Structure 1
């Protein structure tokens, strides 16, 4: 298992060091704080994206049909790339 170029053993080692530094009793509190922070960041980015999109639509800057077509093409390319990398992973 590899996630962001970090293997399973490295993740376990990092978790072990975190437990040693902060202690097992503080981990739920730290995780809760990180979760709240990530939620706040995601909500803020969604609000900004919504406001920019709304403003662009009001000023006729965005052509939703063109963006929809571009998104469809990007999704097709992404699917093709995932199919290709999937076959590479199976061959290795």
Structure 2
């Protein structure tokens, strides 16, 4: 026997749920909320489809890099030594 407490909402329950949503979000925000939900679902569907397509295309071997970085390349930001305050000493905190 199926427990009726865990079933899908029927007609009157949907009206109560809709009334609660209108009270919480306001009638002016509902179209914006629905638009955002639709965009999120659309993005989710395209991402899951892309993952399924990636699973179907199993590569035989990883592609080799076309060019290796040279040893003479310099980083974009130079290394900066951290500044340590000479007044801060560990023996001050030991009591």
- Report the TM-score, using the length of structure 2 for normalisation: 0.52
Higher normalized contact order (CA 8 Å, seq sep 6+, divided by chain length): 2
Deviation string, structure 1 residues 44-68 (Cα, Å, up to 9, x no partner): 000000110121xx65xxxxxxxxx
Question: How many pairs align?
Answer: 54
Matches within 5 A, 1:37-52: 37-52=40-55
What runs of 5+ residues in structure 2 fail to find an aligned partner? 1-6, 61-95
Please list every run of at least 4 consecutive aligned residues from structure 1 whose deviation after the TM superposition is greater than 2 angstroms.
Answer: none
What runs of 5+ residues in structure 1 fail to find an aligned partner? 60-92
Report deviation, 1:12.
Answer: 1.2
Answer with 1 or 2: which has the greater Rg: 2
Correspondence 1:35 to 2:38: yes
Q: Distance in 2 between matches of 1:21 and 1:46?
A: 34
RMSD: 1.5
- Report the TM-score, using the length of structure 1 for normalisation: 0.54
